[in-house]
Each structure stands twice: as C-alpha cells, then as structure tokens.
Structure 1
Amino acid sequence: MVRKTSTANSRLVYAQTAVTHKEYFDYVLSFFLPYCVNDYTPQSRIVRDNRTNKTYSAISFTTMQLPCFNVFKDNFYEVNTKLVPDNIYELLTPRGLAFWLMDDGSRHGSGMHIGVYAFTNTDVDKLMFTLQDKFNIKCSIHYNRDKKPRIYIFKESMDTLRNLVKPFFIKEMLYKLGL
C-alpha cells in the first residue's frame, strides 16, 4: 500500500519475482484489474537483490489511487511500516489465509513456514494466536539464518490447514500445501 501524502488516497503496488508464479500473479491481478487504469499492462523489470547480488525478473502492477484502499493502508500500516491490527482475529478468513500462504508460505519438511519478516514479535504473536485459537492450527515461531521470524505450522496441523485453504488455492500453488 502506498500513499504519497497524508491527504492523498492509497494505491496497491503488487509484485512477484518468481517467474514460476506468473499464474498466481495473473490470478491476483484479476481481482484488482477493475481498480487499474483502462488497458493496464503489468510492468516487467530486472531487480537486483543487494543481499545476494543476484538479479531476478520481476512483474508488478499498480492500482489507481482510490479511497477504497485507504482503510487497508490505515489498518495495516503505521506510516510505511507494516503492522498487524488488533482485530486481526475478526479480519482473517480462510480465503485471506489462503492468499497469505500463496504469497508468503513455503513447505518445510512435513510442515510449513510463513514469512513474517516485516512484523514485530508482538504482531507475530497476534498472528499465531489467531491461527491457533480461530483455526485450531498448531504453530510456533522459528527464525531464519538472518534472525528474521517465521511462523512454523506443525505437521499435525497440516490436514486442518489444507482443508481450510485448499478451496481458495490455485492449482499452481498447491505444492505449498504438499499436494
């Protein structure tokens, strides 16, 4: 979410760097195309990861600046820092969880990691509580090599998770669920 000034409307900027996720990118774009300018064409570019010095192909889209996006900017960002709102328990649905997993989830053994690198430990705790209490998904916090947090979903909760989110997954992303 981007807002140029405090009085401007917000817009969504969405990007994928994995060429193998083009179908997913197109799926997400299909929801937001009505909010893009007429005859909108996604932008392709080459990006360099400064941490690894590797280059990647990236594809992105940007919506128009519209009042309907302000609620997301206001609830999920403090200035330009991502945050988890206090009412995430009420907001997170099986469909929302599916999109979160398609974006930030990855198989890890018989379980799954969800990247939550941009969030504070307090925000990660809110997310974990919601997964555990609302969806009965057993999880814990793991840290990657760079000491960044990830939520780990235990093997014994994977069937529960699959049953919850599979109806919303596109076939190209089912591998993240081990399917």
Structure 2
Amino acid sequence: MSQTRFGNQIKQATLTPFEKEVIDGCLLGDGTLTKSGKEYRLRIEHALKDREYVSWKFEKLKRLCISDVQYVSNHDSTRFGTVGHPEITVLRQKWYRPVKQVPEDLVLTPIMLAIWFMDDGTKHRDTVDISVHSFSEQSLHLLQKQVSLLGIKTTVNSDGKGKRLYILKKSYPSFKRLTKPYILKCMERKLP
C-alpha cells in the first residue's frame, strides 16, 4: 500500500482517548503542532540522549505515523511526526489562540503529568519542578488547578530563565505515586 493511501486511512481513523492523552501531555511539554497540507500534525523531537524516550512516544502514537523515528544530524536529535489529522487540527485550534495556551477544558491525567514532567521537569532538592516558561498567567492558573485536582500542591516561582511549577515537598510522594507507572527508566535521572 502506498504511503499516500496509508496516510489517508490514518486520517480517517478516530484518535483513541489514550492517544489524545499522550498528545496533550506532549503539548504541555515539548510537542509542537505543525501544518501538513490542510491539517496539522504532532512533531516530537528530543536530544539524541533521549532517543529511548522518543521511541516510547512513537510506540504510543505509531498508529498515526507513516514513517519511523529519524535521526537528525544537524540537531543531534531524534524525531518523528504524525500524519496531518483532522482531530489534531482541532487540538491545534484549542491549544494555540493564537499562541500556545492550555485549553480551559483540559483534564490533567497521570500520564499527561508524567509526559509533561519527562519533557520539562527536573529534580529540585527533595522534590521536582516543571518549566512553565511559555505559558500565560491564565494557563498557569489552569495548570495549578488541574495539578491540585490530582492531590498535588504547587507554587509558581521564577528561576531567572522564567517560571517553574514547583511540586511542594509534602506533595512529592503523591506526584511520584501517580507518575511512577509512566516514568521511563532513562528519565529517572530527573527524579530526586
């Protein structure tokens, strides 16, 4: 079957709830939506040292892809992209108004939190924090509310480069319990 016919079949498929969660988790972090013909597609790219993580994301979304993970020599990274898809185009309209913002109807799940953390998180003494540099104040309030609904208390502080969402030390056990099933071994370096 040609790539075009295969791509058209993918475009007609409905995204599963799990695929939507993975995509939303990626969009909280380093994922971007780029134009592909009439539709938008998800593009994932991480440093070469995180190729196992890229492969993990690819495995979760490979039903939406026609090509495998690729090495990008001029960036020393690995990446993949989904096909342009009508439902991803809808996500583009929700996430970019006109700049990237958290959709008001976003319901944060443990896997979304884990992906967001693996993309933008780091250890901070006895707890963790997540970069939120690119989000507006309104988006930060929405994110804090969603994280608190998972039983995790946070504060937003600046670190000189921008804002970070700090998981309070007393909430770190809850964060770890919720995200542990999804944190890859190669990403455990980000945990205290």
Q: TM-score range by the shorter chain?
A: 0.7 to 0.9
1:2 maps to which residue? 34
Alpha-carbon offset, residue 68 of structure 1:
2.6
* 1:83-162 matches, cutoff 5 A: 83-88=101-106, 91-132=107-148, 134-146=149-161, 148-162=162-176
Where 2:35 maps in the other structure, the secondary structure is coil
What whole-Å deviation, never above 9, does each CA across 1:142-177 have from its counterpart, x for those lacking one? 11213x111011111110101111011222212323
- Aligned-pair identity in percent equals 26
Instruction: Verify the 8 A CA contact 1:77 1:83 in the aligned structure 2.
Output: yes
What is the aligned counterpart of 1:45 among 49, 52, 73? Answer: 73
What 5-or-longer segments of structure 2 have no aligned partner? 1-32
Is 1:95–1:165's contact at 8 Å kept on the other side of the alignment? yes
Matched with 1:51 is none
Question: Equivalents in 1 of 2:180, 2:174: separation in Å?
Answer: 10
- Displacement after TM superposition at 1:115 (Å): 0.8
SS in 2 for 1:118: coil
The letter of the residue matching 1:15 is E
Q: Which moved more, 1:94-103 or 1:67-76?
A: 67-76
- For residues 40 and 136 of structure 1, do their structure 2 counterparts lie closer, same or farther at Cα, with a shift above 3 Å needed? closer
Equivalent in the alignment of 2:182: 168
Give the TM-score taking structure 1 as reference length. 0.82
Q: Distance in 1 between matches of 2:58 and 2:52?
A: 10
d(CA) in 2 for partners of 1:45, 1:78: 33
Task: Tell me if the contact between 2:58 and 2:69 (Cα under 8 Å) persists in the aligned partners.
Answer: no
Indicate which of 36, 61, 71 corresponds to 1:32: 61
- The answer to whether the 8 A contact 2:157-2:163 is kept is yes
Per mean C-alpha deviation after superposition, the further-off stretch among 110-119 and 28-37 is 28-37
CA contact (8 A) 1:45 1:58 kept: yes
Q: TM-score, normalised by structure 2?
A: 0.77
In the TM superposition, structure 1's runs of 4+ consecutive aligned residues that sit over 6 Å from their partners are none
CA contact (8 A) 1:43 1:61 kept: no
Q: CA RMSD in A?
A: 1.7
> C-alpha distance in 2, partners of 1:33/1:4?
17
User: Which runs of no fewer than 5 residues in structure 1 stay unpaired?
Assistant: 48-56
